[in-house]
Structure 1
């Protein structure tokens, strides 16, 4: 009689694996300068809160405007490595929560570590980030 619970746990495990793979693909896309692939992981109404941003960006269009200005000025970060480590992912139906440490290694510089929380929604079978919060950790690395 516990088949439903087992199926539900199996589904949540498969969903968590899919979310983890999506996060890894997103950061690989950043390293490859493939903005279109990166953006496939973001919901149109994604909120983006990061330590280095000029305030919370409340939609993808606000994020796009920020990135266009940054990239146009030549300030896009150059990194040798960008990886999500120590992932913890929970799934409840069509909602996912991912927490991890993002490690960014610039060429010839020390690695930076950020504590990240992503909230995701399943939309049309795809897991999309609806809220991204990243805080730079000081004194780490």
Structure 2
């Protein structure tokens, strides 16, 4: 999944708010971690995020369902995964955290839409609550 810069709007339509990052939560990641690949069947690479994954609330009419994610080629020493979604261009001056999910089991190879594995922990975001808070792309 390529993340492209979009200067048209702070909460641009980029499927992953330009900063969806999959991190292996191991103490030291081996060089092989660079080969890890993240994709999503929920939206097209470089395309507009579907309303299903956009925010519902604050004037936005999405359904606020977290996107499905698939990953492969994680390092063998991986102990768990974390998914973060950060928008550095939000009109706040400091960006906006949309999603932080940690303690995803090391044997996981992805997340289904709206899913959170039993041991995973959703932390508080800039919406003031734990869990996924989608972007609000312009019309």
**What TM-score, normalized to structure 1?**
0.32
- Name the structure where strand makes up a greater proportion of residues: 1
The structure, 1 or 2, with the larger RCO (C-alpha pairs under 8 Å, 6+ apart) is 2
**What TM-score, normalized to structure 2?**
0.32
